Amino acid sequence: MKITKLETFVVDGGWRAWTYVKVETDEGITGWGECSDYRVTNAVEGMVRDLAPLLVGKDPCAYEMRFIDMMRITRSSPGGITARAIAGIECALVDIAARERNISVVELLGGPTRDRVRLYWSHCGTTRVRHHDLVGKPPINSWADVTALGKEVVARGFTALKTNIVMPGQNGTWMSGFGGFGVAMGPNDEWAPNGLIEHTVKHIGTLRDAVGPDFDINLDLNWHFKPEACVRIAKALEPFNLHWLEIDTTDAAALAQVKASTSTRICTGETLIHMKEYLPFFQKHAADVFMIDVPWNGIVQGKKVGDLAATFGHNIGPHNHYSHLSTHMSAALCATLHNVRIMEIDIDDVPWKDDLVTHAPEIVDGHMIIPKRPGWGTAVNEEVARAHPWDAHKAAHAKHLAQPKPLKG
């Protein structure tokens, strides 16, 4: 079997793009991978096109060799954009290898270790405060709305959620307005003033009261704060027994310092690439749980990271705030590892999300059932994908984001 064509689809996900790689073969077997990154969408898509000539005519089932080929040709262009493109292609090749054998990716990679994986409702409140109009949900205008959402999550059978620091109101926002992902322009010292800490305590306390003492709450700080501020926030939230406080950083030593300063559990890793970048964090035991992003690492390389985490005594939880193809890819990772804490999924989303794939995730009592169908157990619905093209002129990182009110302290 030989690769005949690579094609990309960049699909409208409302406020972000979903990027897919389709790989076709001379035997009529097609594979799909996702490598979404809506901040550098054009760059990732372009890298896939740049790699295509290297792959056409080659055996897709030799996916490890194809990965090495792509890594070799991009030695002088390392980094996240390259890694994402390679991951999307690798996932499509693995999908083909499984479909060629009429088995699931989980079976191909030696699983299953489980038949379902526990989920947490991600961006809980964050999506509604920013994009309630796009997902057809009520806005978050008050703390009463936060309470109502917490109770809704419990009523729908979930046992865990993740939120960001949300500012309810008629022009509500979240922490992106303070910097972090580069949304707010101008200087920013990534400090946590007293007013922000008090607000965060109010936010998490409101959620805790709504969901009860045994429900798991995760708070994502993204890239918003320097270590000193992370310590202040982590210590302030100790009474709420968070499932984890998520902190993005490339500095393992700094994160280890944060972890040593608090009883709040720490999670990191969503932007790390391959074992080389994870290793310093594992060696320093810099966090309690590590995220693995399959669309950015690939399924085979992601499994290697997960196995390496296990040797250091760490659990993992896939980073998955993308489309349902990524959800199936991430579930496959969970079903090939034994050291899995929980998996992320966005519940509030655009109305066409389910229609974009041939099989949406089967969710029962807050768990995703691991599919047994060939490949990922799903594929992209091309007709729907073509009906929802991404508008490259959308300012996804600026639109719908109100500037936050100044905080005292």
Summarised one tens digit per residue, pLDDT across range 215-231 is: 999 999 988 899 999 99
Q: pLDDT value at position 50? A: 97
Taking residues 115-143, what's their average pLDDT? Answer: 96
Mean pLDDT for the stretch of residues 32-59: 96
Res 38: pLDDT? 83
Rg of the Cα atoms in the chain: 21
Give the ranges where 101-170 is alpha helix by DSSP (H): 105-108, 126-135, 143-155
- β-pairing verdict for 3-12 and 17-25: antiparallel
H or E element, residue 297: helix 294-297
Reported as a pLDDT band with limits 50, 70 and 90, residue 403 is very low
Q: What angle, rounded to 10 degrees, do the helices at 41-55 and 63-73 form?
A: 110
Q: What is the pTM of this model?
A: 0.94
Helix (H/G/I), strand (E/B), else coil: 366: coil
Q: Rounded to whole angstroms, how far apart are CA atoms 33 and 117?
A: 21
pLDDT band for position 394 (cuts 50, 70, 90): low
Residue 170 pLDDT grade (very low, low, confident, very high; cuts 50, 70, 90): confident
| Helix (H) or strand (E) segment spanning residue 369 | strand 367-369
Domains along the chain with CATH numbers: 3-103 (3.30.390.10), 108-376 (3.20.20.120)
**Inter-residue contact 139 to 132 (CB < 8 Å):** yes
Does the pLDDT value for residue 183 go beyond 70? no
CA atoms within 13 A on the CB side of 151: 9
Which pLDDT band, with edges at 50, 70 and 90, does 188 fall under? Answer: low
pLDDT value at 94 more than 80: yes
Lowest mean pLDDT among 152-156, 176-180, 247-251, 292-296: 176-180
Predicted local distance difference test score (pLDDT) of residue 175: 66
**For residue 145, what pLDDT band results from cuts at 50, 70 and 90?**
very high
Strands 173-174 and 266-268: unpaired
Identify which of 184, 286, 285 has the alpha carbon closest to the alpha carbon of residue 227: 286
Residue 266 scores a pLDDT above 80: yes
Q: Are 154 and 163 in contact (CB under 8 A)?
A: no
**Assigned token pair, 315:** 């659990």
Mean pLDDT of the chain: 93
Q: What's residue 368's pLDDT?
A: 98
Q: What is the DSSP letter of 173?
A: E
> Quick one: how many helices (H) and strands (E) in the chain?
14, 15
